[in-house]
Structure 1
Amino acid sequence: MFRRSTAARLAACTALGLMAAGTAHAQAITMATGQQGGSWFPVGGQIKAIVERENPDIDFTVTPGAGAANVVGVDAGRFQIAFANSISTVDSLEGKEPFRKPTTNVCNIGILYPQYFQIVSIADANVNGIADMAGKRLTTQQVGNTGEFLTRELLALQDMSYEDLGSVAHTSYSDSATQMKDGHADIFTLGSSLPTGSVMDLASSRDIALMNVDDATFEHFKAKNAAFQLRDVPAGAYPGFDQAIKTLSYDTHMVAPCDTDGTIVKAVLAAVADNVDSFASVNKSMEGLTVEEMATDIGVPMHSAAKEFYAERGIAGME
Structure 2
Amino acid sequence: MYPVRISRRTLLKAGLFGGAGLMLGACQPTTGSPAPAPGPAQPAGPAKLVFSSGPTGGSWIPLAGAVSELVKQRAPEIEITVEPGATYVNIEKLAAGKADLGWANLDGFYDALEGRPPMRSKVTNVYYMMYMYPNVFQVAVPEDSGIRSFRDLKGRSVALPPQGNSSLIAWEAALKAHGMTIQDFGTVSYGSIADHVELIKNRQADAMGWFTTVPASFMLDLGTSRKMRIISFDDEALKKIEEINKGYRKHIIPAGTYREQGQPDQAVTFQTPTIMIVRAELPEDLVYRITKILVENKDELARAVSAIKNTQKSEMGQDLGVPYHPGALKYYKEAGFVK
TM-score normalised by length of structure 1: 0.82
User: After superposition, what is the alpha-carbon deviation per residue over 1:31-76, rounded to whole angstroms, capped at 9, x for unaligned?
Assistant: 2222344443332221122123333333323233222332233222
Asked if residue 272 in structure 1 is aligned to residue 294 in structure 2, the reply is: yes
- Residue of structure 2 aligned with 1:222, choices 242, 250, 274: 242
- Measure the CA separation in 1 of the matches of 2:79 and 2:222: 36
Comparing both chains, which one has the higher relative contact order based on Cα–Cα distances under 8 Å and sequence gaps of 6 or more?
2
Corresponding position: 1:131 with 2:151: yes
Q: For residues 111 and 55 of structure 1, what CA distance do their matches in structure 2 show?
A: 21
Question: For each residue in 1:84-126, what CA deviation from the matched residue of structure 2 results, as whole angstroms up to 9, or x when unmatched?
Answer: 1122212321112332211111210011111211111122222
**Is 2:308 the counterpart of 1:286?**
yes
Shift of 1:310: 2.1
Match of 1:34 in 2: 54
- Counterpart residue identity of residue 274, structure 2: T
Match of 1:199 in 2: 219
3-state SS of paired residue (2:237): helix
Deviant stretches of 4+, over 4 Å:
none
Query: Which structure shows the bigger proportion of residues in helix conformation?
Result: 1
Q: CA RMSD in A?
A: 2.4
Whole-angstrom distance in 1 between the partners of 2:126 and 2:251 = 27
The one-letter amino acid of 1:291's match is K
Task: Pick from 288, 305, 317 the counterpart of residue 295 of structure 1.
Answer: 317
Q: How does 1:147-296 map to 2 (within 5 A)?
A: 147-238=167-258, 239-240=260-261, 241-262=263-284, 264-296=286-318
SS in 1 for 2:140: strand
**Superposed displacement of residue 159, structure 1:** 4.2
* 1:117 matched residue in structure 2: 137
State the one-letter code of the partner of 1:101.
S
Report the counterpart of residue 54 of structure 1 in structure 2.
74
Is contact 1:179-1:185 (8 Å) kept?
A: yes
Partner of 1:86: 106
Structure 2 counterpart of 1:310:
332
Q: Which residue type is aligned with residue 313 of structure 1? A: A
Partner SS, residue 218 of structure 1:
helix
Compared with structure 1, are the counterparts of its residues 168 and 57 closer, same or farther at alpha carbon in structure 2 (3 Å cutoff)?
Answer: farther
- Name the CA distance, whole Å, in 1 between partners of 2:54 and 2:313: 23
**Structure 2 alignment gaps of length 5 or more:** 1-44
Q: Report the counterpart of residue 22 of structure 1 in structure 2.
A: none
Separation of aligned partners in 2, 1:232 and 1:34 = 25
Q: Structure 1 CA distance, aligned partners of 2:78 and 2:186?
A: 48
Are the structure 2 counterparts of residues 74 and 215 from structure 1 closer, same or farther at C-alpha, using a change threshold of 3 Å? Answer: same
Aligned: 1:97 with 2:117: yes
Report the Cα distance in structure 1 between the residues aligned to 2:60 and 2:281, rounded to whole angstroms: 24
Q: In 2, distance between residues paired with 1:187 and 1:57?
A: 48
Q: Which has the larger radius of gyration?
A: 1
> Partner amino acid for 2:115?
G
Q: CA deviation at 1:267?
A: 4.7
Q: Aligned in 2, Cα 1:83/1:45: closer, same or farther, shift over 3 Å?
A: same
Do the aligned partners of 1:114 and 1:251 also contact (CA within 8 Å) in 2? yes
Gaps of 5+ in 1: 1-24
Matched-pair contact (CA < 8 Å) for 2:104–2:277 = yes
Amino acid at match of 1:293: E
Q: Deviations over 1:276-317 (max 9, x none)?
A: 222333323211533321111111110011122223434443
Query: Deviations 1:220-259 (Å, cap 9, x if unpaired)?
Result: 0122333322111112223322111100122111111211
Aligned length: 293
How far apart, in 1, do the equivalents of 2:61 and 2:158 lie?
23
| CA distance in structure 1 between the aligned counterparts of 2:177 and 2:311, rounded to whole angstroms | 35
Distance 1:176 1:39 in 2: 18
